């Protein structure tokens, strides 16, 4: 038996490589899950900031709408509402990422700590066995038969301990790996689902927003604007300028008329351009959007 025991002390110990493999499994999980966690936390925070920025835009759009004529006001308000809806979905995305992706990833810290403690314990037991074997070796060289027998019993006990703890460690690491794979799949499936739902909702809401902008009657709005401007002219026309007839050079009623006719002409042009604008929007290709120049941005 001594030869066997010694060969195990002196050769690269198999139980060592086993523990090392288990340690690697845990260390790897710790490293990568830690990184996934911090990157996804950052991703979530940046999503929240995007939401905040869009919320500010919504606010400005509503403020702006209130300064505009009814037609544009209604359009911009509807558009702002849709944009706000997308941010509501983004908010739901953020909350769900926190609950279903970040929280379980954070739980890994505790789980890894426990597995690490188990490995440490196993290593301690192994070291104890080595010490017992070294003691035995020394005694064997000095060969007082009774003390050697005691040492051999002690070494055997250490072996049984190591057996038990290695067994326990193997179970622990196996359970850890299984949990890791399951959690990994679940967490990333949840991530994908959360993102997918958000993007699907965004498509839905933006489709409605696009329709809102398409339905915007620009011509009517321009007519409102011109009427308002004419209102200001009209307002001044209503002033008690009783001597107007005797003053043919009073400039602004003339200006008013010519501006009106200018506006009418521009209105016609606007109609044509409006058509072509609408076309150009629809011409934006829905395919082939993949960033061709993407390599440049790194």
Q: Is 131 in the site for a second copy (CB under 8 A)?
A: no
- 5, 14, 148, 153, 252 from 160: Cα distances, Å: 13, 16, 18, 11, 109
Compute the least distance from the CB of residue 70 to a second copy, in Å: 13
Chain centre distance of CA 226: 47
Q: Is 279 in the site for a second copy (CB under 8 A)?
A: no
Q: Is 110 in the site for a second copy (CB under 8 A)?
A: no
**Of 30, 74, 91, 121, which one interacts with a second copy (CB under 8 A)?**
91
Give the distance between the most distant pair of CA atoms in the chain.
Answer: 143
Residues 208-267 that bind a second copy (CB under 8 A): 209-210, 213-214, 216, 218, 221-222, 225-226, 228-229, 232-233, 235-237, 239-241, 243-244, 246-247, 249-252, 254-255, 258-259, 262-263, 266
Compute the least distance from the CB of residue 215 to a second copy, in Å: 10
Residues 3-22 that bind a second copy (CB under 8 A): 3-5, 7-8, 11, 14-15, 17-18, 21-22
Torsion, Cα of 170, 174, 175, 180 (10° steps): 140
Q: Is 81 in the site for a second copy (CB under 8 A)?
A: no
Instruction: Report the alpha-carbon angle 47-49-54, nearest 5.
Output: 95
Q: Is 103 in the site for a second copy (CB under 8 A)?
A: no
φ/ψ of residue 144, rounded to 5: -90, 110
Secondary structure class of 135 (helix, strand, coil): helix
Compute the least distance from the CB of residue 79 to a second copy, in Å: 6
């Amino acid at each position: 038996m001594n030869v066997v025991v010694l060969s195990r002390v002196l050769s690269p110990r198999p139980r060592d490589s086993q523990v090392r493999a288990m340690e690697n499994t845990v260390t790897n999980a710790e490293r990568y899950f830690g990184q996934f966690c911090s990157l996804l936390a950052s991703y979530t925070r940046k999503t929240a900031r995007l939401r905040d920025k869009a919320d500010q835009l919504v606010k400005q759009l509503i403020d702006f709408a209130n300064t505009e004529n009814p037609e544009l006001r209604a359009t911009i308000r509807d558009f702002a509402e849709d944009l706000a809806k997308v941010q509501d979905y983004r908010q739901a995305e953020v909350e769900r990422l926190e609950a279903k992706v970040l929280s379980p990833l954070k739980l890994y810290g505790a789980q890894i700590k426990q597995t690490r403690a188990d490995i440490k314990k196993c290593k301690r037991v192994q070291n104890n066995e080595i010490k017992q074997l070294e003691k035995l070796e020394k005694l064997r060289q000095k060969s007082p038969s009774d003390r050697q027998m005691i040492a051999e019993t002690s070494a055997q006990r250490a072996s049984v301990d190591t057996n038990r703890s290695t067994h326990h460690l193997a179970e622990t690491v196996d359970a850890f790996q299984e949990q890791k794979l399951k959690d990994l799949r679940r967490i990333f499936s949840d991530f994908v689902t959360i993102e997918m739902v958000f993007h699907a909702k965004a498509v839905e809401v933006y489709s409605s927003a696009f329709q809102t902008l398409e339905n915007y009657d620009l011509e009517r709005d321009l007519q409102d604007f011109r009427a308002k401007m004419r209102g200001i002219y009209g307002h001044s026309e209503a002033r008690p300028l009783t001597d107007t007839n005797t003053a043919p050079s009073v400039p602004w009623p003339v200006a008013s008329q010519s501006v009106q006719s200018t506006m009418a002409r521009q209105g016609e042009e606007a109609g044509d351009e409006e058509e072509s604008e609408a076309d150009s929007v629809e011409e934006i290709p829905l395919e082939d959007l993949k960033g061709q120049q993407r390599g440049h941005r790194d």
